[in-house]
Amino acid sequence: MSHDAAHKPIMSPFVIVTGILLVIGLFITVMRFTGGLAATTNLSDYNPWGIWIGFDLLVGVALAAGGYVTSAAVYIFGMKRYHSAVRPALLTGFLGYALVVFALHYDVGQPWRLPYPFIMQSGTTSLLFEVGACVALYLTVLFIEFTPAPLEWLGFKKARNLVVKLTMVLTIFGVVLSTLHQSSLGALYLIAPSKLHPLWYSGYLPVFFFVSSVVAGLSMVIFEGSLSFRYFKDKMDEAHMRDKEDVAFGFAKAASFVLAGYFAIKVIGIAVDNNWAYLATGYGAWFLVELLGFVALPAFLYAVAVRDRSMTLVKYTAGWTVLGIVVNRLNVSLIAFNWHLPASERYFPHWMEIGISLFIVTIGVIAFRFIVTRMPVLYEHPDYEAH
């Protein structure tokens, strides 16, 4: 720790807010595992999946896509100039997937049975089995991909060098697994055509989820990088400081193209199903807010930011795009789901559900802060700079 950090006040606003959220989260955790789902959620037979699936899983998996997007760009497509972004992206991805699995323990009625499909019964024809298997395998891949940083920190050179030799294999494996489960999360909703609003229901849902995960990954790398530069600048070496703008503008340019493609296939989805009439309804207005405000607008803003070399615009657009991914996943899983039911039967999350989601996000922030302030994530370890 730096000399200045050692003299920072212990009771900072970050510590106070974090402490409050952790205490509330632990209290709700006790309530959840002693009183069951009924004591802490508003879930029902009509709404068996709530915010713990819509936000903690669907949003969490999408925003953790920066790991496979960045490693594929650097190691498969040879974009070595973005190498400084690999370890932060892998760390964000690993923590994201780890917290998704952690959150599932709250949502599953009997969480100790989470591994049952793998060891006690066969479920290979189920999309949920495929998603679970891919997430479990990819979490393992991310863990191995990130281990060079802690191994360098611990001084285990031989183990670190062995893992580095597996980089290409792990990257390819990670891209394949990510392609499978990112699209399969969208495919889960293909079995509910009568429950999901026609504007969000489409045979292209798996494609929508996969393409939007690429957008989420690119934007999260920019968003996380800007926050790291603000709060962990003292941990960055000269190479990371020098490459910061190149990574941001390069990923912003890619995100602009992918968002434009995503906008096009969303419009094609409406045309194929001939759902134009729904655009004149209340749900149609909200759909246009998502499509124009969170897809078309950031595509344009990213392009302008790259043209004008505006880091400020890139950072704010990345944050807006991340928010757009959150809106899209919540639209599919909650807002546009069971749209035909009366308001009295619609799902709205219990405050304890929201509390657990904030609790899980807080754990992720603490873990990220702990790791980047101690391990060579935002800088090259001096013993391995030549590598």
Which pair of structure tokens corresponds to residue 316? 């704010």
Which pair of structure tokens corresponds to residue 233? 């600048």
Which range of 13-17, 44-48, 67-71, 118-122 scores highest in mean pLDDT? It is: 67-71
pLDDT surpasses 90 at 380: no
pLDDT tens profile 317-336: 999 999 999 999 999 999 99
CA angle centred on 166, ends 163 and 167, rounded to 5°: 95
CATH number for the segment(s) 21-384: 1.20.1630.10
pLDDT surpasses 90 at 365: yes
Count other Cβ atoms within 10 Å, centred on residue 28.
22
pLDDT the model gives residue 2: 45
Residue listed under structure tokens 């495919």: 187
DSSP string of 316-383? Answer: HHHHHHHHHHHHHHHIIIIISBTTTS-GGGS----HHHHHHHHHHHHHHHHHHHHHHTTSTTSS--GG
pLDDT the model gives residue 65: 94
Rounded-to-integer distance, Cα 161 and Cα 104, Å: 34
DSSP H/E element including 255: helix 238-273
Strand residue runs (E) in 204-287 = none
pLDDT the model gives residue 122: 63
H-only helix segments in 51-111: 51-53, 60-63, 66-71, 86-107
pLDDT tens profile 156-169: 999 999 999 999 99
Name the least confident of 128-142, 143-157, 372-386. Answer: 372-386
pLDDT tens profile 258-276: 999 999 999 999 999 999 9
Residue 324's identity, in one-letter code, is G
pLDDT surpasses 60 at 1: no
pLDDT tens profile 4-61: 444 556 778 888 999 999 999 999 999 999 999 999 999 988 888 999 999 999 999 9
- Which region holds residue 155: left if phi is over 0, alpha if psi is between -120 and 50, else beta? left
pLDDT surpasses 80 at 203: yes
pLDDT the model gives residue 344: 82
pLDDT the model gives residue 4: 47
pLDDT the model gives residue 47: 86
pLDDT tens profile 218-243: 999 999 999 999 999 989 988 888 88
Name the least confident of 11-15, 184-188, 366-370, 373-377. Answer: 11-15
Q: Say if CB 220 and CB 252 are below 8 A apart.
A: no
pLDDT tens profile 273-329: 999 999 999 999 999 999 999 999 999 999 999 999 999 999 999 999 999 999 999
Name the least confident of 110-114, 323-327, 345-349. Answer: 110-114
Higher pLDDT, 344 or 374: 374
To the nearest whole percent, how much of the chain has pLDDT over 90? Answer: 77
In this prediction, residues 201-214 reach a mean pLDDT of 96
In this prediction, residues 108-136 reach a mean pLDDT of 80
pLDDT the model gives residue 387: 55
